[in-house]
Structure 1
Amino acid sequence: MANLTPSDLKYLTDKLTVRRSELEAMVRADAACAGHDNLRRMGGEVGDPGDESAALQQTDLNLAEMEGGARELQAIDRALERVREGRYGHCAECGCDIPAARLDAYPAAERCTPCQTRHERVYGGRDVTPSL
């Protein structure tokens, strides 16, 4: 597994697992709030079109946060799968080792920095990972 020591791998795996638990709790809480029909509840509180616009904007922000959390959960799940398969820490594009400092900063990293930069230039930061 790349240039990671067993203690590095355990540290990063633990970091991924803790973040996964945090995100699951956040997504569950956000989904519960969304289930209460925030817009309708907020709509009853608004007194003018400006307030309604603010309520709609807040609802959009809440949905975007939920989507971001779900995407990060998927990235973490893919990283944990790579750990199980012995591929963690290797760039998905070029096969080189991903530096430990990059993995420490973003343990779900799939690419080394040069390949990630190239990927973002081509895809504009969009997630192009196929759904399973």
Structure 2
Amino acid sequence: MAELTRKQTDELKQLLDRRHQELRADVRQELADSGDERFTELTSSVRDIGEESTTAVLADVNLSLINRHTHEMNQIERALQHIERGDYGICVDCGADIPFERLQGYPVAERCVSCQGRYEKTHLSHATPRL
């Protein structure tokens, strides 16, 4: 498998930079919205348990979105560090080159498809409880 060309690496770096900027803007907006007077009014004017749980859900959704964005930003920053070190596009498990097409679709990929499949089977929790 061929290594990434300079042109391909530059294209992926631009894609990562753009996405990072979008996420930063989204996080800023989410934080600004959480300080929005309407949101503050809603949370301070809770009158009953039903309203309280709705308000808590809204706050949790906002926090979950911010957490998801910051997690993706961290992945992007790791990918950019790999580009700087010259080891971007190399599977962290087996050392094989990650195909350009995979990186175009998922530029923060750290594993080739085979290793990612094994990783998911081994490390990710199952949706249903097991004994």
TM-score normalised over the length of structure 2: 0.82
Deviations 1:75-106 (A, max 9, x none): 00000000010000000111001111110111
RMSD: 2.2
Which segments of 5 or more consecutive residues in structure 1 lack a partner in the other structure? 126-132
- Partners in 2 of 1:37 and 1:106 — Cα distance? 37
Map of 1:108-127 to 2, 5 A cutoff? 108-124=108-124
Give 1 or 2 for the bigger CA radius of gyration.
2
Gaps of 5+ in 2: 126-131
> Which amino acid in the other structure matches residue 123 of structure 2?
Y
- Alignment of structure 1 residues 79-118 onto 2, 5 Å: 79-118=79-118
Contact 1:91 1:110 in 2 (8 A): yes
How many pairs align? 124
Q: Could you give the per-residue CA deviations for residues 32-55 of structure 1, whole angstroms, max 9, x where no partner exists?
A: 333458865323454543332222
Aligned position for 2:30: 30
Distance in 1 (CA, whole Å) between partners of 2:4 and 2:38 is: 46
**Contact 1:39/1:56, CA 8 A, preserved across alignment:** no
SS in 1 for 2:70: helix
